[in-house]
Structure 1
Amino acid sequence: MASISLSRIGWATPDGHSVLTGVDLNFGQERTGLVGRNGVGKSTLLKLITGELQPLAGTVRVTGTLGLLKQAVRPGERETVADLFGVTGALALLRRAEAGAAGVEELTDADWTLAERIAAALARVGLDAGPDTRLAELSGGQRTRASLAAAVFAAPDFLLLDEPTNNLDRSGRDAVIALLAGWRAGAIVVSHDRELLDRMDAIVELTSLGAARFGGNWTHYRERKATELDAAQQDLAHAEKQAAEVRRKAQRAAERQDRRDAAGSRKAAQGDMPRILLGARKSNAEASRGAGAKLADRQRAEAEMALTSARSRIEILQDLSLALLPTGLPANRTVLRLDGVTAGYEADHPIIRDLSFTMEGPERVAIVGPNGSGKTTLLTLIAGGLAPIRGTVSVAVDFAMLDQRVGILDPAASILDNFQGLNPGATDNACRAALARFLFRADAALQQMGTLSGGQMLRAGLACTLGGPRPPALLILDEPTNHLDVESVEAMEAGLRSYDGAILLVSHDETFMTNIGIGRRLSLGAAEGDAP
């Protein structure tokens, strides 16, 4: 039977930062959600299972075949869906056979059902594309669907999915949920999507304390987790109370012994006690003090051990709390204007047609629409990464754009170096203080960008763009919640509510858009949102 077993796994980044320590896990033929805070090692665990990474300690045993969906697909210019499926050569053979150009020996190797199975896999995830479709022509969400189709194409014993609903519109999310609902083999799903996690058979939580398995879906996990956390907090409160009581008793015992010693000293000073009796009393006092000290030490050690044990059951988590400096953007200031814009990557096949749009003051606007409707293209156009075919684009204030890969940052540089590069006037102390507000304290600020998880990278991007002495008046965000855990999303919501600049956002997260006060929607395509 297919299975995955991890025994005492340990792994660290090249710079020595420990990510996984002593992890023991077993996966069978069920759908398992893998959850945990950003940077705790979820994607790393998948890479250890596939063999892309090797553990520094422990062993990984895989029985059966694997199908992997990574967090991001970065295609080459000419890479096609067939390349993603790994069937380019097999399709070429079929075409030679159909044209009568294949040799007899080649014909015996031909897979005559291949095209039909590729079409079925793409239809299963709701993607209207063919094997010759270039991946660069697909939107981020469409590439996610293509990658998912490639992962299930060979009917593996285990699906390994890393954030499968990222970049997907509503219909894409529904397709992933339906696929997993009908999946009868094993699956390990890294996700922060609570709707998807509620379709799981089990939840594995990774924390800095290790890994814990919970039977049932996300809702059951949260209920059980809340119960266990409440019990652990009660145990911790009891242990703290006991430790404090032991310290008080030890202090009172020491004070009583000091008073007895002082009384004995005064008696000896009077000179009316035989020397032999004085010596005996002194010996007894020293023995009593020694015994009392040993008892107090033992009780303190036991109390501290109980306290440490109670604390070890509760992972101490720091919440990200953003306090941003003001931009001073006035309400009547024109921030952005598009007049009659037509744009795309090929002049004869524009993605955006004749679009006019204006933002004024600290407006908060969401660009909505189905995958492939041009949302990311529009952001790239506004940020200056793409010239319009027709019409004009005018951005009248300073801005920062965080795309889905945080391309504004240098992956080879540290977080601190990136911050200083984007905020050249800030002192070293100011840089350190700003990064600390985003939980990059001390040596954490020296981490290389390329070693960070997706969520950590977005947090670093926010730190570098918004943490400086002059935050930009316009913030452009492309699916900012895709790689964030629930706690970080809530912290981002709180921070963006306090931001006084304008926000232009692409997102499919309705709750997030509501919580940051999106007041207007620009709809591209007919499936989502309101009219412009």
Structure 2
Amino acid sequence: MSAPSLSVADICWSTPDGRRVLSGLSLDFTQERAGLVGRNGVGKSTLLRLLAGTLAPDRGRVVRFGTVSTMRQLVRIEPTETIAGLMGIAPGLDLLRRAETGRASLDELAEADWTLAARAAEALAQVRLGLPPETPLIALSGGQRTRAALAGAVFAAPDFLLLDEPTNDLDRDGRRAVAELLAGWRAGAIVVSHDRELLDTMDAIVELTSLGATRHGGNWSAYRARKETELATAEQHLALAERRAGEVKRRAQAAVERQQRRDAAGRRKGARGDMPRILIGARRDKAENSGGDNARLAERQGSAAERSLREARSRVERLEPLVVTIAPSGLSPAQRVLVADGLTYGHVHGSAMLREFSLTVTGPERIALRGPNGAGKSTLLALLAGRLKPWSGSARVLVPFAWFDQGMSMLDPEASVAANFARLNPGMGGNACRAALARFGFRGDDADRLTGDLSGGQMLRAGLACVLGGTRAPQLLILDEPTNHLDLEGIAAVEAGLAGYDGALLVASHDEAFLHALRITRPLAIG
């Protein structure tokens, strides 16, 4: 029997609108822990879906030896869905409950898995989620749902774990639990992540770019050190190849011009009658032969130089930098921005998550909500934004504001990025719309892509572009885990844009480096 492995051979995949995402990609994975890295939209999540078999390639082969388990992405949650349902064990647990109360038939008793509850508890303990499987998902925070989804993937005990951003939404304890789980994982794991600490637990890093895929042995730190050296070397080779190509062209042009001057001088001398006719003919033949030889030599040298230049360019990925620029909001330092008084709320009747919470924001304050998963940070932001109704108390936002929830609910997934921008910025013309979107990385046809087809990081960029790309920025931004799904370049660009923003910020994030870059003026502990 073959050892567990996953491979793709010459696979191609395009979006329904014909945009090529993966082209001629070949990769092999053995039972190792491999981190899959690359810019947003390059095809990392697509590759995971191809490996899992939930997506079919347009061309090429996917070969699987062994079992595969994926971590489910929780975009929309049904009110009745539980942790057990997410783990795929709800029917089995229900059978055990009926067996314990004497309501199961003999045939059902024969099928009962009496170890199920214990194995489920063990999987939940691995991700440090101390909740019963019957807990409704709607009652969980984003981080707790992430842990539950990870427990569901681990519970299957597969030969390969396929994990897409497993530390998104997680607090420090949750991130540590994921890192420890993978550090002790003895089967295969392919992990899409921008979490540098998690990537440092990997055995190998596979980088996906527009040029293809490259495997690097070792963890993230080793990869970055080699990558910087390789990139510097490739840039040097490219600069050298460009100089050589230019020199060859200049030498060839100079040779042509010298030959032209000699030929012109010979023609002038022959025209004066100073040279026998037979000698004139011989010189003309020699000039023509010499010119032809020079032309062929110049062509060979030029072709060699262009070939070297193409090879050098093929090793360097050229990308347009992302620049997030935000228009002034005009918020006055004395302007009352938000007032919350006595907010009380919970997802489960009779169990309040927030009690008597009050907050006043004045002027361009920068407030960071801090607290563990389940403390109520996302719930509080939704209450302040008016998306949830409190059990008691009130919340009022007194200035124009924008709420960036984790699902980017302000965007219509059935409309293009450009159409979403036009809807949210009705006063801007088509050219201004395109220019604004280009600043956020949506250039040309990318602006016409359906929002629902975007990756998580691209979706966030689209939300930022549509809300912050106008001529007047909202005076309050409410941000819930804004760095989720963003690549490292994207995070740096958002940090720079928000650092120059003149309005008020209310941010929930577990990314300490991001919060430091925003120059938070008031940390606020929740829970």
Alpha-carbon contact 1:347-1:389 (below 8 Å) kept: no
Mapped pair 1:231 → 2:230 = no
| Superposed counterparts of 1:22-421, under 5 Å | 22-345=24-347, 348-421=350-423
CA pair 242-379 structure 1, distance change in 2 beyond 3 A = same
Alpha-carbon contact 2:139-2:347 (below 8 Å) kept: no
Alpha-carbon contact 2:138-2:347 (below 8 Å) kept: no
Structure 2 residue corresponding to 1:504, chosen from 480, 500, 506: 506
Alpha-carbon contact 1:203-1:218 (below 8 Å) kept: yes
Q: CA deviation at 1:110?
A: 1.0
Q: CA deviation at 1:346?
A: 5.1
**CA shift digits 1:439-476 (9 cap, x unpaired):** 11111111111111100110111110000011111111
Q: CA deviation at 1:169?
A: 0.9
Alpha-carbon contact 2:44-2:208 (below 8 Å) kept: yes
Distance in 2 of aligned mates of 1:113 and 1:482:
36
- Aligned to 2:111, what secondary structure does the other structure show? coil
Distance in 1 of aligned mates of 2:525 and 2:473:
28
Distance in 1 of aligned mates of 2:307 and 2:17:
32
- Aligned to 1:237, what secondary structure does the other structure show? helix
Query: Higher mean Cα deviation, 407-416 or 120-129?
Result: 120-129
Alpha-carbon contact 1:71-1:163 (below 8 Å) kept: no
Sequence identity (%): 61
**CA shift digits 1:176-199 (9 cap, x unpaired):** 111111111100011000000000
Alpha-carbon contact 2:52-2:69 (below 8 Å) kept: no
- Aligned to 2:25, what secondary structure does the other structure show? strand
Distance in 2 of aligned mates of 1:381 and 1:215:
47
Tell me the TM-score normalized by structure 1: 0.96
Gaps of 5+ in 2: none
**CA shift digits 1:102-161 (9 cap, x unpaired):** 222222111111111111111111112222111111111111111111101121101111
Alpha-carbon contact 2:413-2:450 (below 8 Å) kept: yes
Query: Higher mean Cα deviation, 71-80 or 142-151?
Result: 71-80
- Aligned to 2:328, what secondary structure does the other structure show? coil
CA pair 186-347 structure 1, distance change in 2 beyond 3 A = closer
1:369 counterpart letter in structure 2: G
Distance in 1 of aligned mates of 2:75 and 2:428:
36
Q: CA deviation at 1:24?
A: 1.4
Structure 2 counterpart of 1:444: 446
Q: CA deviation at 1:342?
A: 1.5
Structure 2 counterpart of 1:528: none
Distance in 2 of aligned mates of 1:458 and 1:416:
14
1:519 counterpart letter in structure 2: T
Distance in 2 of aligned mates of 1:113 and 1:345:
31
Q: CA deviation at 1:301?
A: 1.3
Distance in 1 of aligned mates of 2:90 and 2:347:
26
Q: CA deviation at 1:73?
A: 4.7
2:125 counterpart letter in structure 1: A
1:491 counterpart letter in structure 2: A
Q: How many residues align?
A: 525
**CA shift digits 1:241-283 (9 cap, x unpaired):** 2111111111110110111121122123213434443333323
Q: CA deviation at 1:494?
A: 0.7
Distance in 1 of aligned mates of 2:299 and 2:324:
44
Q: CA deviation at 1:92?
A: 2.1
- Aligned to 1:108, what secondary structure does the other structure show? helix
Distance in 2 of aligned mates of 1:358 and 1:268:
97
Query: Higher mean Cα deviation, 278-287 or 398-407?
Result: 278-287
1:72 counterpart letter in structure 2: L
Distance in 1 of aligned mates of 2:327 and 2:97:
62
Gaps of 5+ in 1: 526-532
2:108 counterpart letter in structure 1: E
Tell me the TM-score normalized by structure 2: 0.97
Alpha-carbon contact 2:339-2:360 (below 8 Å) kept: yes
Structure 2 counterpart of 1:462: 464
Structure 2 counterpart of 1:529: none
**CA shift digits 1:317-336 (9 cap, x unpaired):** 22212222211111111111
Distance in 2 of aligned mates of 1:376 and 1:232:
45
Alpha-carbon contact 1:333-1:360 (below 8 Å) kept: yes
Distance in 2 of aligned mates of 1:268 and 1:358:
97
